[in-house]
Structure 1
């Protein structure tokens, strides 16, 4: 059976995976390279929320560029389902690659990095609490639990948990970006 682009359903079904796989590899490599560059500049930048937001913005931009290019390859039109699959698979592949890069960075290249980042997050959290007048409300035991929680995020188990959360966030982002990338062929309306 052929669709309106003249491609068979099997080709169209496989095509989102192939295009998304390539996009996911590019996104994953961009993320890993960014982490390593930030590590060499100042490792505490890896614990910054602002850096995370910038990386998410870059990822959205790259996905939009590759998604629009993929839509052009399909003849200028793409259903929501295909757009969702494309974005979700790309983000999933990217998450797997970046998690692998983080394991390499945090546990092989610099095993002390999780402690440095947990301490940086702790300092940032305490500074925020101080600005809002709540720094004195937390005791030493709570601070130790908080620090341990930050450290746990950088363990392999913590990274696997983060990967699970990343899958959920990827699905939500795929819904949003899929809705933006889809384009209906209005000539098929009767």
Structure 2
């Protein structure tokens, strides 16, 4: 009897859910330890690395289930679908955190983000006093808008583009061609 292989969507469902729950757990853990971690560039970087490693791990498992070989298209589809599912779950968790659990958190994070931006500008030699007040206020408003419900939904939309680019890279990493089929 021939073994049935899963489609990329079916195979990506479980890893996507697992990764989404892990992302939620890491976000909530950072929130409970020190909410300012959520505005840190390091937190974002560590999250991306964990995300990348987990997709490679699950992708290699799926490739093994397929007999050890996977086309670029299958690897891309698997990676992209996994990230979309994970992103949806993570976004729901973040929306709950910002809108229900701690509605004051978005303003705290927006202020921290603005302060980090100004600090970064100072490191590059820009004096914040030389920036017009209306431009500083616009930066402050833009920092806050990312933490609103509509900002989070818009952010997820932009994440889809990031997921597609990352899936292209992961597809290239995960693909493996059966060289025995070469003539």
Q: Structure 1 length normalisation: TM-score?
A: 0.91
2:88 is equivalent to residue 88 of structure 1: no
2:161 is equivalent to residue 171 of structure 1: no
Q: Structure 2 length normalisation: TM-score?
A: 0.94
Q: Please list, as runs of the form range in 1=range in 2, the aligned pairs for 1:3-42 lying within 5 A after superposition.
A: 12=5, 14-42=6-34
Determine the C-alpha separation between the residues in 1 that align with 2:86 and 2:170: 16
2:48 is equivalent to residue 56 of structure 1: yes
Q: Please list, as runs of the form range in 1=range in 2, the aligned pairs for 1:107-118 lying within 5 A after superposition.
A: 107-118=99-110
Determine the C-alpha separation between the residues in 2 that align with 1:167 and 1:33: 21
**RMSD value over aligned CA atoms?**
1.3
Structure 1 gap ranges (5+): 1-5
Determine the C-alpha separation between the residues in 2 that align with 1:56 and 1:172: 13
Residue 181 (structure 1) shift? 0.3
Residue 44 (structure 1) shift? 1.0
Q: Which of 26, 38, 51 is the aligned partner of 1:46?
A: 38
Q: Which of 167, 183, 188 is the aligned partner of 2:181?
A: 188
Give CA deviations for 1:137-174 in whole Å, capped at 9, x if unaligned.
Answer: 21332222111111110111111111111111101111
- How many aligned residue pairs are there? 181
Determine the C-alpha separation between the residues in 1 that align with 2:182 and 2:122: 60
Partner secondary structure for residue 154 of structure 1 = coil
Give CA deviations for 1:27-78 in whole Å, capped at 9, x if unaligned.
Answer: 1111111110000111111011111011000000000111101111111011
| Structure 1 partner of 2:140 | 147
Q: Which of 97, 100, 105 is the aligned partner of 2:97?
A: 105
Single out whichever of 100-109 and 132-141 deviates more from structure 2.
132-141
